[in-house]
Amino acid sequence: MAPALVALDDVALDDPAVDTQQLATRGSGFWRRLMGLSVRPILLAAVLGMLYLWVQAQTLDSIERRVLNPHRIRIDLWDHVQLSLIATALTIVIAVPVGILLTRPFARWIKPIGLGLGNFGQAIPSIGLIVLLALWLGIGFWTAVIGLVVYATLPILRNTIVGLDGVDPALKEAARGMGMSRLAVLGRVELPLAVPVILAGVRTALVLTVATATLATFIDAGGLGGGLVAGIKLNRPALSLTFGVLAAVLALFADWVGGIAEEVLRPRGL
């Protein structure tokens, strides 16, 4: 009877129905996480709705009406989004390859230098960094982009290094034993396993960039910071509150987008 029981156990373990059930469980977990993330845009839309009703209930003077003009708000919002997206894309293009390079055996001795430079960029106060770059490169959109890239590089660089260093060496050795080249091991084993950690760094960098982009107004690069600063300088609470809430909502929306990207781009099974 013992061999029969063993055979039955083997059949049960290899049963495709078991694998199908596991895949279904993983899939339901994925959709549950997405449903959880779907709550945030509803809350953000409610906040924007309450802000709109509050502004409509205020008695605005000529300055407030001019700054709170819907057309101007759309322009400032679009400038802010452009700054954030371009800076984040450039940060990814720079930080991920550098992080990969610093994890290669021949370049490990450079790792402390690379992380030190990343720490240096984030250690400088963001307003000070943007002003220094403006004095060097002049004011404008691309100076702000460079400042945002320097400021947001560290999270992606660090998470790329941590993610790749966290891959089990036994898996890499097994892949090499199967005849894969070092480049194939990187592309088919290391990077897929490191993707969740790298995406977490990208999400952090995106939120940092959106929040810091409000300072671009100081070097004439546009964005939502213009209305916020105008409200503070002119003692117009309606302007400060409106543009402050818009900047906060945009940052939270960027974090939500990053969370969606983490779920969608995460390799299945991890």
The domains found in the chain, sorted by start residue, are: 21-265 (1.10.3720.10)
* CA distance readout (Å), 37 to 34, 91, 191, 256, 259: 5, 25, 25, 7, 7
Give the model's pLDDT for residue 270. Answer: 55
Give the model's pLDDT for residue 204. Answer: 92
Query: What letter does residue 124 receive in the DSSP assignment?
Result: S
What is the rounded CA–CA span in Å between residue 210 and residue 204? 10
User: Do 163 and 192 form a contact (C-beta atoms < 8 A)?
Assistant: no
Nearest residue to 238 via CA among 52, 14, 101:
52
The stretches in the chain having pLDDT less than 50 are 1-19, 22-25
Three-class SS state of 222: coil
Give the model's pLDDT for residue 39. Answer: 83
What is the rounded CA–CA span in Å between residue 93 and residue 104? 18
Which two structure tokens, joined as six digits, stand for 204? 């952090």
Which two structure tokens, joined as six digits, stand for 188? 């088919």
Q: How many CB atoms lie within 10 A of CB 136?
A: 9
Give the model's pLDDT for residue 13. Answer: 40
Give the model's pLDDT for residue 27. Answer: 53
